[in-house]
Amino acid sequence: MTRAVLAFDGSGIDGSWFTSVTDLARHTPWLNGAAEVWTDYGLGVFAVLMAAGWWSARRSGARAMAIALAAPVCVLVAFAVTEVVKSGVGELRPCRSMPHAFIVETCPPAGDYAFPSGHATVAAATVGALFLLDRRLSAVAAAFAVVEAASRVYVGAHYPHDVAVSLVIGFVVALLASAAARRLGTPVVTGLRTGRLRPLLAAG
């Protein structure tokens, strides 16, 4: 019974906020195509930022490189956590619990739940994964993460609370994973920098 109740909770939490955003989408059709492209393919920006972090870390110490190499893993860990939460909560997508709302994105299959948002988690996890490496890159990632989270609501894929919680989970989990990687991975990177992998791990 708990799962069934939670499956319909989304519209009761912030359904009015959700429809306020999707009503904006209804009246800005010129933006909808770009929003739909960004909400999926914009995740590539976060891969680029992590690659930039690795490139920058080549000119820094082994500790920085350990964080940079672990960044994608930290993001995957955060994503895995949200997938576990998503399957446990089983919140229906807005397109199913609020079928009369304006939805830009095609409604996912019935078993694809809304809470939390995988896209927003990946975005926020990139912020957390880069935080201990380069605060400027992390700040850039944060700006893009806010846009990514907003786009998920705009296209009708998630409620505001879905993306808000995802931003917190993604950042915290990735930050903790990054801290662990810094501690455990630094000795490994130090050793590898003296071998054949040195060009990938250190500049010059």
pLDDT value at residue 4? 41
The C-alpha atoms of residue 189 and residue 69 are separated, in whole angstroms, by: 9
pLDDT value at residue 7? 53
pLDDT value at residue 9? 53
Please list, in sequence order, all residues whose beta carbon lies within 8 angstroms of the beta carbon of residue 164, skipping any fewer than 6 positions away: 149
Read off the pLDDT of residues 67-126 as tens digits, 9 standing for 90 and up: 999 999 999 999 999 999 998 888 888 888 888 888 888 888 878 888 999 999 999 999
* String of DSSP letters for 110-138: TT---SS-HHHHHHHHHHHHHHTT-HHHH
CA dihedral (13, 16, 21, 26) positive or negative: positive
The C-alpha atoms of residue 1 and residue 128 are separated, in whole angstroms, by: 36
pLDDT value at residue 6? 44
Nearest CA to 117 out of 96, 98, 142, 91 is that of: 91
User: Which residues in the chain come in under a pLDDT of 70?
Assistant: 1-9, 192, 195, 197-204
